[in-house]
Structure 1
Amino acid sequence: MTPDAHDRAAPHPEDTAPESGAGAAPGAVADNPYARARRIGPFAVIEVSGEIDLASAGSLAEHLMAAVTGAAPPDVLVDLRHVSFFDCSGLRVLCRAEATARSRGGRLRLVSDQPRIRQLLRGAGLLGRFPPLPDIPPAPPPPRRPSLN
């Protein structure tokens, strides 16, 4: 199976949020030691910390799936600046969440200033799919109201 075909495969139960969290807005999933959700302007931001591996990837998946299925179209930023370890289990969760966001007309982007995250993405052939942003982008200004004059 090619990596792209694997990304399009149906999500495994451990990679998705519980049914009670499906379609929920960011923050509806309880914060855990590995991920928390918040809104910054138009962005659903998932702040990730600690070690993301086979044991913790499900906790990240809960937040990501809630974010990408909550708003239409989703605009999700995954902040990896506080991650101390990230392996292929985390990459699998990111790929599935990004594919879901894209299928709903949205996007999922990574925020990371860590060279090792860039190296991991490059080694996995995912740097083109997830070019990391160095910081959370500023929210666009609110639309101007027309003056009555």
Structure 2
Amino acid sequence: MRTRRRTHRRSARVEYQLPDEAESASRARMLTSQFLARPALRAVELDAEHIDDAALIVSELVTNATRHGGSCRLCLHVSDTQVTVGRRRYPCSPFRATEALRTVTLQPDRGDGAHVRSSRPAVPFRTPELFDECRMVHARGELDLTTVAPLVHALEGARTGCGRVFLIVDLREVTFADGSILRPLREAWDDCRARRGWVRVVHSSRGIELVLLGGGVLGRFPAYASAQDAWRGTPTAARGAGHAPTSTRTADGEAR
């Protein structure tokens, strides 16, 4: 006589109603992080990177929903193998409300940085002889739809005047960033390249790397470990250093 062993799968699901306002993205990230960090989900073995990935996806989804108007309902589902994030837009019929779900699959990190691939950055026109020839922009805290304006203004201010612009954007103190950083970085890139200069980004955040990858600009903005490395044109990968991602958990902050 054969017996079959039944496998008990752990899962949890929750939904949150969010208002039609820009601040909903920040609140959605907080709710997502709190839900996924609950003691009841410890058996699923969610680590900080998985939680940060889910928070990033949630921020993008909710930001898109609020930009196009209408409240939305955030849906989170956790199983033994994956975290599924989705949203429902209202008002509309229940059948049309469910949008395509995005999934963060829990795959072990092989430790070789192979989870993100990028093309080789374009060769710059030249490297300035002196570090002081570079212009610096620093940012810190959270960068999303409601907080990215200071960074936008700083990038614009750093490109005033004539001649070549070699711009270093230091994001090492940024605790969270979503797709809101893509447009100002693209505009700065286009402007500086047209003036035979460049833009280089200093960071060690896996979350920022995922945003750049998703926006199709990771090849333009490889990570640099320091402002000095950015000046010399030595990306982190070229130094043979593995990623040491910083957390993208939510925290109050601003860009300067």
- TM-score w.r.t. the length of structure 1 is 0.61
Percent of paired sites with the same residue:
35
Amino acid at match of 1:117: I
Offset of residue 50 of structure 1:
0.9
Pick the aligned partner of 1:72 from 163, 168, 171: 163
| Match status 1:55 vs 2:146 | yes
Q: Is the Cα contact below 8 Å between 1:77 and 1:108 reproduced in 2?
A: yes
User: What is the Cα deviation at residue 65 of structure 1?
Assistant: 1.0
**Structure 2 residues without counterparts, runs of 5 or longer:** 1-130, 233-256
Structure 1 residue 113 corresponds to structure 2 residue 204:
yes
Q: Which runs of 4+ in 1 moved over 3 A?
A: none
Q: Which residue of 2 aligns with 1:132?
A: 223
* C-alpha distance in 2 between matches for 1:99 and 1:135: 23
Q: Alpha-carbon deviation of 1:137? A: 1.5
Listed as ranges, the gaps of 5+ residues in structure 1 are 1-39, 141-149
Report the alpha carbon displacement of residue 115 of structure 1 after superposing the two structures with TM.
1.8
Distance in 2 of aligned mates of 1:53 and 1:71: 30
> What secondary structure, in the 3-state scheme, does the structure 1 residue paired with 2:174 have?
strand
Secondary structure of 1:70's partner?
Answer: coil
Task: Give, in whole Å, the separation in 2 of the partners of 1:89 and 1:121.
Answer: 11
Deviation at 1:70, TM superposition (A): 3.2
Q: 1:79-94, aligned counterparts within 5 Å?
A: 79-94=170-185
* In structure 2, C-alpha distance between the alignment counterparts of 1:49 and 1:65, rounded to whole Å: 17
Question: RMSD between aligned alpha carbons?
Answer: 1.8
Letter of the 1:127 partner, please give it.
Answer: L
Q: Which whole-Å CA distance do the structure 2 matches of 1:86 and 1:71 have between them?
A: 30
Equivalent-residue separation in structure 1 for 2:192 and 2:157 (angstroms): 11
Task: Name the residue aligned to 2:119.
Answer: none
Question: How many residue pairs get matched?
Answer: 101
Shift of 1:71: 5.0
| TM-score (normalizing by structure 2) | 0.37
Q: Which protein has the larger Cα radius of gyration, Structure 1 or Structure 2?
A: 2
